Amino acid sequence: MNHEKEDKFIRRRVNLTIKKGMIIAFAFIVLMCMGVIVRLFYIKSEYGKEYSRAVLAQRIYQSRSLASKRGSILDRNGIILARSEKQYNVIIDPHQILDKDYYLEPSVEAIVTYLGYDEEEIRNLIRDNPESSYIVYEKDADYTRISRYKEYQASKSKVVGVWFEEEFARIYPYSSLASHVIGFVNSEGAGSYGLEQYYNNDLSGIAGLSYTYFDSDLKQQKPTKEAVDGYELVTTIDYNVQRIVEEKIKNFLDTIGAKNIGVIVMDPNDASVLAMASNREYDLNNPRDLSPYYSESELMLMSEQEKLQKRYEMWKNYCISDTYEPGSTFKTITVAGALDENSISTEDSFYCAGFSEVGGWRIGCNNKYGHGTLSLTQSLMKSCNCALMEIASKLGKESFYKYQSKFGFGAKTGIDLPGESSGILIPLKNLNETELATSSFGTTFNVTMIQIAAAYASIINGGTYYQPHVVREIRRSDKTVVSSYNDMGVRQTISEGTASFIRNALYMTVENGTATPAKVDGYLIGGKTGTAQKRPREEKRFVVSFAGFAPVTDPRVLIYIVIDEVADPELSASSSPATRLCASIMKEILPYLGVYPDGDIDYHVDVEMLAAMEEDYDPFEDQNNAEVLPEGLDVENE
């Protein structure tokens, strides 16, 4: 019993101790809370205004971006090819309109009366979006309505909640002209393809910012950081030359037809591009439109992925992105390299039996009956494969590969356009006897159009290689030049003596060789044809080409044409469609560029050499007086 009493007593004392501790703790907490409350009241009364200022100073109540004006793109003569026009978007701020009861009615009335919107629609918009401060209600609104609203609103303090956002729309005055060169601007305002993409940072400028905030004295501040307009581009493109080229391409497609055509017109003295076009031009103001190329039923059957792929194909610049075997236009490079290395001389002669045995393979010439004995000039004139294989053998694979690289093949030219390809060369270690032979006349490796054009410019201007380019200068809107093209040559490819011989030989090629359809009355035209058979060889599909220039004595214009799969089967393996197209372009652009006919032009050339060429020339030797593809074996890359 005594033990039980003691236990009860101990438990009571413990419980009492615990209760006392809890009461003390509770009292302490209450006192602490009271102290905090008292302190908060003290801070509010003494420092509340300062804290409010600090908080408000950090709060931006309204901000908006100020669009920069994208720079224009001009042709070499100042014709505007792309420009930006200001437009106004109507922005409605329901949150501000509902901020005060007396804002709603006068604001809605002003919107309906002066902007011409439907009253019920506006009321529903405000009611359904009470927390929104930015709703784009109309894009590119008529400025007359905007002016009337602004004039009314300026005198009515209760009319709120509408403001006008400025932005710039990209306009292409000539629609599809030079579309692959210019490119377009996407929905986010960034450049896509062409110059719009390559020079996007220069063209786009820097957006500005306007915002409102309260400073530490609770005064409203409205600073503005003005937008900086983009630079404008002055291109090397000539509007009239580009227009003529595109018209000629269209006419060719309408009358003869082809899978694709590429045309580059270049000033060979600095590799500036005067025109660049292919057959699949597109409307820059509506770049996603496929209807010019596909019927409504065809488009309906396409998936969105298929349509996107078709657009990529349409937007791609054939002249810099697609690769192909150059064919006999490359013979000029082979001869130039061999002459400059002194592997051959201008007095050498070569024998053609219609084929050559190389590395155990029989490789045919374009004349299966053989050309017989040919001079070096005649080897180019008649585009003799056998002569070129002999020349390449004398040059050697190391030097041949060196000149391929020296003339820019196997690497990007660096033209100021996106999407350029490098082409494909046979590596030096794989350039064996047979590969060297077939490469000498432009097969078994791939090039781009811009590579061939730049290489030919180097040959005919005296041996200086210039980087091809489309922009001449970048300048501010006040015409202050920011940067301009440096026309210093990149490297020397061949000597002036070699270049002079090649120019004369290519004149003979047009005057009395495989390129006679390229003649233009009154002008000295030089050039070289090319025909290449696409893979797989058994399908008999061809790429034909021609590189022509004028005048021979003082080259001012270079035109390079590639026609992929001529639709007419009788012409599909002949270079004559390319030479005739070149002649039709030359005939129009030469007078425009200030290059006029010379009248009697025989005194300009080596008359004795021309007479010798005429004595043994057979006009029926080649199809349509133009180069045709050899029937002999073509060797695959190993």
pLDDT tens figures, 225-235: 778 889 999 99
pLDDT of residue 50: 58
On whether the CB atoms of residues 444 and 363 are closer than 8 A, the answer is no
User: Please, which residues have CB within 8 angstroms of residue 160's CB and are 6 or more apart in sequence?
Assistant: 93, 96, 97, 99, 103, 107
Closest C-alpha to 438, from 331, 349, 335: 331
As given in the structure block, the two tokens for residue 631 are 């029937």
Phi, psi of 47 (to 5 degrees): -125, 5
Domain ranges for the chain, please list them.
2-58, 66-215+223-235, 323-625
The pTM of the full predicted model, rounded to 2 decimals, is: 0.82
Nearest-angstrom CA–CA distance, 622 and 216:
90
- Residue range 66-215+223-235 forms a domain whose CATH class is alpha beta
The whole-number pLDDT of residue 236 equals 98
Q: What is the pLDDT of residues 490-546, one digit of tens each?
A: 999 999 999 999 999 999 999 999 999 999 999 999 999 999 999 888 889 999 999
Return the pLDDT at 630.
47
Predicted pLDDT at 172: 97
Closest-CA residue to 395 (of 353, 487, 333): 333
SS3 annotation, 337-365: HHHHCCCCCCCCEEEECCEEEECCEEEEC
What span, in angstroms and rounded, lies between the C-alpha atoms of 269 and 183? 26
Strands (E), 21-127: 60-66, 73-74, 80-92
**Residue spans of the chain under pLDDT 50:** 57, 60, 600-604, 607-638
CATH of domain 323-625: 3.40.710.10
| Beta pairing class for 73-74 and 232-235 | parallel
